Amino acid sequence: MAIFLNDVSRTFGEYLLIPGLTTKECTPTNVSLRTPLVRYRKGEKSKIELNIPFVSAIMQSVSGPELAIELARHGGLSFIFGSQPVESQAEMVRKVKKFKAGFVVSDSNLTPENNLADVLALIEKTGHSTIGITCDGTPNGKLLGLVTSRDYRPEKDGTEKKVSEFMTPFSKLHFGRAGISLSDANQIIWDNKLNTLPIVDAEDNLAYFVFRKDYDSHRENPNELSGEDKSLLVGAGINSRDYKERVPELIDAGADVLCIDSSDGYSEWQRETLEWIKGKYGNSVLVGAGNVVDSDGFNYLVDAGADFVKVGIGGGSICITREQKGIGRGQATALIDVAKARTEYFNRNGIYVPICSDGGIVHDYHVVLALAMGADFLMMGRYFARFDESPTKKLRIGNNYVKEYWGEGSNRAQNWQRYDSGGSENLKFEEGVDSYVPYAGKMKDNINVTLSKIKATMCSCGAISIPQLQNSAKITTVSSISIVEGGAHDVILKEQNR
């Protein structure tokens, strides 16, 4: 006979937080949203800690390089979608890693014998206006000069004009020697009012560039998530089919963490994938797994080596897995169950394995509920798909602007690997829809409002950190009538000015 669970499958919308004592210490400026991304032993720290508890979904319509850059600048992390050829996914990872690395290896280089047409073509290809002129056109050749947008006028100079005629020669450049600290390099930039400082070795070979904009960017984004080399952190999605080819390419491209992307992670396919990665790379490669909805699935993946576990099946706004297959669980109930298993695992083994709540977020306060119920961080798709930085088109439908948003289980994505159950390589039925979401503008303008709401809610709960929230939050279930009571009711709302 089947096993029947007595608990009701509940969603975040069925709960409210009870206020705790708000002390004078509980102000939004004192709230820390720092949280571990990957497993760690008791008494130690996680190898990667997020500055805000957000990661973006492993989806074609969400996690491209532009969104990954912007999210990392705000303290979160993106997982570049894996439903594409490994070469293009690896290139997206490289683009994020190159965006800001303090000392940047130049990927825009020419020789003095090239012409203005070559300069313009290279700028069109890379989007970079600073070009290193080296003896052989390589990133590490002898530096002979520099070309920036101030060195030529396309409307006046002929496209056949040689670079040697308009570049700023090495003799007129300020530069630093290899081995200089980033702080000293930035000081040279500041003292001499420069935008770019080339770094050369003892033989005057180009080693790096240091850019003023990177320093300014860091000042404007104090929560920026970066590594010791100052490059932004980025993750990448993988599947349980071609991981032996995909993983090495992604690691070579600089991916800081991987995640197996699947609608149902409680499978031998994921165990084999985890065991192969850990057997080949040990703990030098960090990899999450999922998705699961109960303690059995969590323990299975953790025993196989998962560094974090994603929780949630069928709760995403574009996901129809529950409708199509009848499997899943209310996101709140699943999260509570897995969080309990995570605590029991920690008590048994002294190893803390973070859990990621994936799906079910409708309102900003649901984020606080998810954290209070035990999530260490959240993966969101619809939330990020609305922004300028997501890779989809902005369209006008009627009087409203929208952005395209489709599920990885839709025919449009054709990501059969995510729903793989063995057998033939095709998508036999859809588990996701093709849709639109309301356009919301730039990420920065929206995420700051969301974070402000989260911090204010935590303060009302008497907590200024995520662990404190998890230890002291009081949560109650709500009736359908009290949900109505919680919104505007029994009044006639004034029409909003458009």
Q: Which two tokens stand for residue 379?
A: 């993966």
- Report the SS3 class of residue 92: helix
Environment class of 434 (CB within 10 Å of its CB; exposed 0-12, middle 13-18, buried 19+)? middle
309 token code pair? 């576990």
CA-CA distance, 157 to 286, in Å (whole number)? 51
Q: Are 55 and 79 in contact (CB under 8 A)?
A: yes
DSSP state of 465: B
Residues 320, 326: Cα–Cα separation, whole Å: 9
Strands (E) across 257-346 are located at 257-260, 287-292, 309-311
Residue 184 has a CB neighbour count (10 Å cut-off) of: 12
Contact partners, residue 80, CB within 8 Å, separation at least 6: 58, 63, 64, 65, 68, 89, 92, 93, 96, 234, 235, 236, 237, 255
> CA 237 → CA 81, 96, 272, distances in Å?
5, 15, 16
Spell out the alpha helix ranges (H) of 53-181: 65-73, 86-99, 116-126, 163-166
Query: How are strands ordered across the β-sheet holding 176-177?
Result: 176-177, 196-200, 206-211
Is-cis flag, bond preceding 426, omega within 30?
Answer: no
Concatenate the DSSP letters of all residues of 332-384 into one string: HHHHHHHHHHHHHHHHHHSEE--EEEES---STHHHHHHHHTT-SEEEESHHH
Tokens of 74: 């705000």
User: What token pair was written down for 114?
Assistant: 């090239």
At 145, the amino acid letter reads G
The answer to whether 17 and 372 have CB atoms below 8 angstroms apart is yes
Question: Annotated active-site positions, please?
Answer: 319, 418
Token code pair at residue 81: 């979608």
**Number of alpha helices (DSSP H) and beta strands (DSSP E) in the chain:** 16, 24
Give the separation between CA 428 and CA 422, rounded to whole angstroms: 12
